Amino acid sequence: MILGVAGMIGCGKTTLSRVLAQRFGLQLALESVDDDNPWLDQFYSGAEAMRAYGLHLQLHFLATRFKAMRRMRATGGSWVLDRTWYEDAEIFARGLFEQGYMSSADWTLYEQLYAELLHAPAARPPRILLYLEGPLDTILERIATRGRPGEREADPEYFAALHDRYARWIGSFRKCPVLRLDVREYDVVGDSGAAEEIVARVRRQLEGELPQTELWPAPASSMPTPAPAAQARKSRKARSA
């Protein structure tokens, strides 16, 4: 079984992926960023750099997807994906081509490689896709406070176009069931209780498919004091009861 976690930069995908893996005893496939990605900071250093390094960056992500899928196939078991291969190609790489940061020849090469990836035995759709979403201004605020240095310095118009592509993509996504999560209500980075609520929702939706006994259940005595966002959610639930 595969659980996919998708969404814009700054939404908390990696944090949520780690929580799901720990709470359900699943294996974790993280996106290749930071020190093991030599192209990321160069790509975000300006419009010319985005044109120069767009294909390099996307091929790096594609190559690490192949590597992760080979490892998943060899290891077996159930996994959590921090961003899916669908987003790599259908949002990021296609967006670079549409915005003129990737040439037609580059895009054709990328599409051919992506088509090969989709034919790999390990490229089965996730059992469920957890989609983190929110208004653009909220996303930009999160990127400004939590993003990597290159992301914080990138042109906001790039993120505006990316946000629009994500909205169109999820609207037509039909490869597996989708659980949509508004980051204003589920701030998994700033509110640890939000992650626990998502864990409970996933458990209810996949009853019988997840491990019967969680490996690291959260003891009641160690549960965090609800943050303001979590308290607001509880108040809304009480009013609607």
24, 214 Cβ separation under 8 angstroms? yes
Q: In what order do the strands lie in the sheet with 79-82?
A: 27-29, 79-82, 2-7, 128-133, 178-182
Look up 82 and say whether it is catalytic. Answer: yes
Which position among 35, 82, 106, 191 bears the catalytic label? 82
Angle between helix 192-205 and 13-24 (nearest 10): 60
Backbone angles phi, psi at 82, to 5 degrees: -85, 95
Quote the CA–CA distance of 167 and 105 in Å, as a whole number: 27
133, 9 Cβ separation under 8 angstroms? no
3-state secondary structure (DSSP) of residue 28: strand
Show which residues are catalytic: 82
